[in-house]
């Protein structure tokens, strides 16, 4: 049993003072506002808010951040970036994946994310042959979570084809490819890795790469299994116009439309990106209860397009955020980038949320609540029974002087960023102190070694 006493905290969706928080294992067991700090509790200054779930990450891509910002001979695009990404991942070893992921996860925690949905698809060795343990790489992801204490929802990804209509995979995709049979074993082993990784709150779900990589019969079979296991289901959808065109040429339907009509998506689903939607698709997606998994920094970096957050929100749609390519890791900046994309498109201010309310708070609440839904975790709100996922903002920072409550959230999101994150608990584990992950130095050395090796190889 741990006892923490917070000067000010956002509990059960309201700001309260002098909150005594009791944690048993990974969960919150009691929250008492207006309480004195008992002698056996740690007194924490600052503003405590629930940690945000990062609903979409490809951790390995952290090590190529900054290496794809040179224009090629032709038009640079998502697709030319993807070619570089394939070249980059071709030689990654299991040790490399573990070192990169562990450092990225430490950074996620320092950035205010307390859990991650790891959309994991680099399964096989560089020739495309399975490792002796078919979930070797998944095991390296669970090890990274253990090294850092980050809450993990591991989403092993099924990937079988190179394009809509069952096109054969390209050579660059050979490390991803499974059949339904081989994937069943990989899933089972992944579950074991999650169960045995030493984090009581690690769990798994299912990722289907995209309608380009998964055929309808495969999607139906795996979605059935996920439903029986109560797993969340994630799929990339409609990130690029070319992908929409390919889907229409194949099926007569746009990707989100196809998923609504043919996959009967519901609240267990997370459609990652969902950038290119008609009004009818946006309404249908909102009605389904599925989460739109937005990755605003990566979507900006890759030139994907602008998500229709205003109309989607008006239809009651649910949005969460993910760090995807990890080109820049910051919960605050993901939310800021999302809001700014809407302002730039509409030539207006304060687009997400409602009149008279803090925009930062609206962004934060949406991402906290729907992020938790998307990756199947009891988090996103500080109340009894939830994970003890807590982020404390540094009220001693000059940017936060005189800023209380929602104004502090607005300041974190629009003015500051990671430098305002001071203390972080994930599942009751106190892993960031004074703005730094407790294992940062130990994890930085192997990460830097991989960075040097890979930069030389590209
Ligand atoms: C991925 N990343 O799987 O890493 C994808 C690109 C694809 C993003 N969607 C590859 N941002 O979609 O084929
Ligand atoms: Zn992705």
Name the β-bridge partners of 377.
none
Prediction pTM value: 0.98
Ligand 1 pocket test, pick from 82, 117, 118, 322 with the greatest ligand atom count within 8 Å of Cβ, gives: 82
The pLDDT score that the predictor gives to residue 200 is 97
The pLDDT score that the predictor gives to residue 73 is 87
Chain mean pLDDT for the chain: 97
- 8 — pLDDT class (breaks 50, 70, 90): very high
How many Cβ atoms are within 10 Å of 36's Cβ, its own excluded? 10
Burial of 445 (0-12, 13-18, 19+ CB in 10 A): exposed
pLDDT for 458 beyond 90: no
Ligand 1 pocket test, pick from 62, 239, 294 with the greatest ligand atom count within 8 Å of Cβ, gives: 239
| Ligand 2 (single-atom ion) residues, CB below 5 Å | 324
**91: nearest Cα among 45, 59, 125, 132:** 125
Catalytic residue among 96, 201, 304, 324: 324
CA distance 426 to 404: 24
The pLDDT score that the predictor gives to residue 457 is 78
Question: What ligand has the least distance to the C-alpha of 164?
Answer: 1
Q: Is the CB of 239 under 6 A from ligand 1?
A: yes
Task: Give the nearest ligand 1 atom to 273 CA.
Answer: 9
Q: Are 310 and 363 in contact (CB under 8 A)?
A: no
- 455 — pLDDT class (breaks 50, 70, 90): confident
Q: Are 157 and 135 in contact (CB under 8 A)?
A: no
pLDDT in tens, 146-204: 999 999 999 999 999 999 999 999 999 999 999 999 999 999 999 999 999 999 999 99
More confident residue, 237 or 73: 237
CA distance 145 to 322: 17
Catalytic residue among 5, 123, 273, 397: 273
Q: Are 315 and 282 in contact (CB under 8 A)?
A: yes
Q: Which helix (H) or strand (E) holds 237?
A: strand 233-237
Q: Is the CB of 210 under 6 A from ligand 1?
A: yes
Q: Is the CB of 342 under 6 A from ligand 1?
A: no
pLDDT in tens, 30-64: 999 999 999 999 999 999 999 999 999 999 999 99
The pLDDT score that the predictor gives to residue 157 is 99
pLDDT in tens, 304-325: 999 999 999 999 999 999 999 9
Task: Give the nearest ligand 1 atom to 119 CA.
Answer: 3
Ligand 1 pocket test, pick from 57, 92, 159, 236 with the greatest ligand atom count within 8 Å of Cβ, gives: 236
Helix (H, G, I), strand (E, B), or coil: what is residue 194?
A: helix
Name the β-bridge partners of 53.
115
Q: Where are the alpha helices (DSSP H) in 356-431?
A: 359-374, 405-414
Q: Is the CB of 173 under 6 A from ligand 1?
A: no
State the virtual CA torsion across 44, 46, 50, 56 in degrees, nearest 10: -110
pLDDT in tens, 215-267: 999 999 999 999 999 999 999 999 999 999 999 999 999 999 999 999 999 99
CA distance 69 to 46: 38
Q: Is the CB of 58 under 6 A from ligand 1?
A: yes
Q: What tokens does 331 get?
A: 């919960």
Backbone angles phi, psi at 330, to 5 degrees: -170, 120
Task: Give the nearest ligand 1 atom to 239 CA.
Answer: 9
**28: nearest Cα among 405, 433, 425:** 425
Ligand 2 centre distance from Cα of residue 56 (Å):
6
**325: nearest Cα among 63, 96, 77:** 63
CA distance 73 to 398: 46
pLDDT in tens, 265-275: 999 999 999 99
Is 273 an annotated catalytic residue?
A: yes
Task: Give the nearest ligand 1 atom to 213 CA.
Answer: 13
Task: Give the nearest ligand 1 atom to 295 CA.
Answer: 11
Q: Is the CB of 236 under 6 A from ligand 1?
A: yes
Ligand 1 centre distance from Cα of residue 408 (Å):
34
The pLDDT score that the predictor gives to residue 456 is 85
Is 324 an annotated catalytic residue?
A: yes
pLDDT in tens, 353-363: 999 999 999 99
């Amino acid at each position: 049993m741990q006892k923490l006493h917070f000067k000010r905290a956002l509990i059960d969706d309201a700001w309260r003072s002098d909150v005594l928080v009791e944690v048993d294992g990974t969960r919150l067991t009691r929250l008492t506002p207006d309480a004195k700090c008992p002698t056996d509790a740690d007194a924490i200054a600052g503003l405590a808010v629930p940690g945000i779930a990062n609903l979409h990450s490809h951790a390995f891509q952290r090590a190529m951040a900054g290496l794809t910002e040179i224009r090629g001979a032709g038009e640079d695009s998502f697709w030319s970036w993807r070619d570089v990404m394939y070249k980059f991942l071709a030689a990654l070893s299991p040790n490399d994946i573990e070192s990169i992921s562990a450092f990225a996860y430490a950074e996620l925690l320092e950035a205010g994310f307390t859990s991650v949905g790891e959309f994991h698809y680099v399964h096989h060795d560089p020739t495309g042959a399975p490792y002796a343990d078919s979930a070797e790489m998944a095991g390296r992801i669970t090890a990274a979570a253990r090294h850092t204490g980050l809450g993990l929802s591991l989403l092993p990804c099924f990937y079988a084809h190179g394009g809509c209509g069952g096109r054969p995979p390209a050579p660059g995709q050979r490390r991803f490819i499974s059949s339904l049979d081989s994937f069943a074993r990989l899933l089972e082993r992944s579950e074991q890795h999650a169960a045995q990784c030493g984090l009581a709150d690690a769990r798994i779900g299912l990722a289907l790469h995209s309608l380009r990589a998964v055929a309808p019969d495969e999607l139906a079979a795996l979605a059935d299994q996920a439903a029986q296991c109560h797993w969340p289901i994630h799929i990339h959808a409609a990130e690029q116009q070319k992908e929409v065109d390919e889907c229409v040429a194949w099926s007569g339907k746009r990707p989100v439309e196809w998923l609504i009509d043919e996959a009967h998506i519901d609240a267990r689903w997370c459609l990652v990106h969902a950038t290119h939607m008609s009004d009818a698709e946006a309404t249908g997606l909102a009605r389904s209860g599925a989460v739109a998994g937005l990755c605003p920094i990566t979507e900006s970096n890759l030139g994907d397009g602008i998500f229709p957050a205003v109309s989607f929100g008006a239809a009651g749609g649910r949005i969460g955020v993910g760090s995807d390519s990890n080109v820049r890791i910051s919960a605050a900046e993901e939310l800021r980038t999302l809001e700014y994309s809407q302002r730039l498109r509409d030539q207006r201010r304060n687009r997400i949320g409602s009149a008279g309310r803090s925009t930062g708070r609206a962004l934060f609440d949406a991402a906290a609540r729907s992020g938790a839904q998307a990756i199947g975790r009891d988090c996103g709100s500080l109340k009894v029974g939830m994970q003890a996922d807590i982020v404390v903002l540094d009220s001693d920072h000059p940017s936060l002087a005189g800023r209380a409550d929602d104004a502090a959230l607005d300041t974190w999101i629009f003015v500051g960023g990671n430098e305002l994150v001071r203390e972080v608990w994930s599942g009751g584990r106190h892993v960031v102190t004074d703005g730094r992950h407790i294992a940062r130095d130990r994890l930085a050395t192997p990460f830097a070694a991989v960075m040097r090796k890979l930069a030389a190889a590209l």
